[in-house]
Amino acid sequence: MQPQIVIRPAHPDDYQDIARITRDSYLEAGHFDDPGHPYMLAIQNVADRAEKALVWVAERAGQIIGSVTLALAGEPFADIALDGELEFRMLVVDPAVQRSGAGRALVEAVVGHARTLSDVHAVVLTTGSGWTGARALYERMGFHRAPERDWFVPGTDIKLLVYRLGLQPPTVEAT
């Protein structure tokens, strides 16, 4: 049995591991073939990300194995979030431990956090059309396509797909 996965806010000591996992995940998945691509360099600047958004890690047995970035509408790292939505981006799991539950644990933590925010009624994300493993995970977790919100990476023919999970208000038991 594998040790438990702990989801927690990232600390500066984690940034190097987050940058490595982000780089390795994007390269392994074939999203980029040049680690020096400007976007690849930008997403590896975890300190900048952490100044402008929430960055969380998945940790198992003291090792960082994944990360995710969260943003609300209007914040610098929000690409698609509308008012009342929490967006998560750059969900990555170390390629050496993918399919070990870390991605699911990160998404569950994001959704759980969203439920604690009184002004948030949905969680949204963008994913690539060819990222079948990620899309399958999101669909299994109840996210639905929002094709009217799909968009293209500026200056490219890369289409990004939007998924959304509406949050049900908590039920109140009758007294």
Angstrom CA distances, 78 to 73, 111, 112, 172, stand at 6, 16, 19, 32
Specify the pLDDT at position 32.
Answer: 72
116 occurs within a structural domain: yes
Q: What total number of domains does the chain contain?
A: 1
Specify the pLDDT at position 15.
Answer: 97
| Domain around 49 | 5-166
Nearest to 120 by CA among 170, 50, 67: 170
Tens of pLDDT, residues 159-168: 899 999 999 7
Averaged pLDDT for residues 89-117: 92
pTM of structure: 0.89
173 occurs within a structural domain: no
Q: What is the CATH number of the domain that holds 18?
A: 3.40.630.30
Averaged pLDDT for residues 61-83: 95
Both tokens of 94, joined, read 């170390």
Specify the pLDDT at position 95.
Answer: 87
Averaged pLDDT for residues 140-160: 90
